[in-house]
Structure 1
Amino acid sequence: MPVTTAAMASDQRPWGSFTVLEENRGYKIKRIEVKPGHRLSLQMHHHRSEHWIVVSGTAKVICGDQEMLLSSNQSTYVPPCTAHRLENPGVLPLVLIEVQNGEYLGEDDIVRFQDDYARTPDPEDFPSA
Structure 2
Amino acid sequence: MTPRRRSIPFEPRPWGGFSTLEEGPGYKVKRLVVEPGQRFSLQKHRHRAEHWVVVAGSPRVLINGRARRLKPRDSVTVPRGAWHRAENPGRVPVVIIEVQHGSYLGEDDIVRRQDDYGRTGTAPVSRRRK
Q: Shared fold (TM-score greater than 0.5)?
A: yes
Gaps of 5+ in 1: 1-5
Deviation at 1:123, TM superposition (A): 2.4
Q: Secondary structure at the match of 2:51?
A: strand
1:123 corresponding residue in structure 2: 124
1:3 corresponding residue in structure 2: none
Q: What CA distance in whole angstroms lies between the structure 2 residues aligned with 1:73 and 1:123? A: 34
Q: What CA distance in whole angstroms lies between the structure 1 residues aligned with 2:116 and 2:84? A: 14
Change (3 A) 1:47 1:7: farther
TM-score (norm 2): 0.88
Q: Secondary structure at the match of 1:123?
A: coil
Q: What CA distance in whole angstroms lies between the structure 1 residues aligned with 2:123 and 2:93? A: 28
Larger radius of gyration between Structure 1 and Structure 2? 2
Q: What CA distance in whole angstroms lies between the structure 2 residues aligned with 1:93 and 1:101? A: 25
Q: Find runs of 4+ consecutive structure 1 residues off by over 4 angstroms.
A: none
Mapping 1:29-44, distance limit 5 Å: 29-44=29-44
Q: How many residues align?
A: 121
Gaps of 5+ in 2: 1-5
Identity score, percent: 52
Deviation at 1:122, TM superposition (A): 4.6
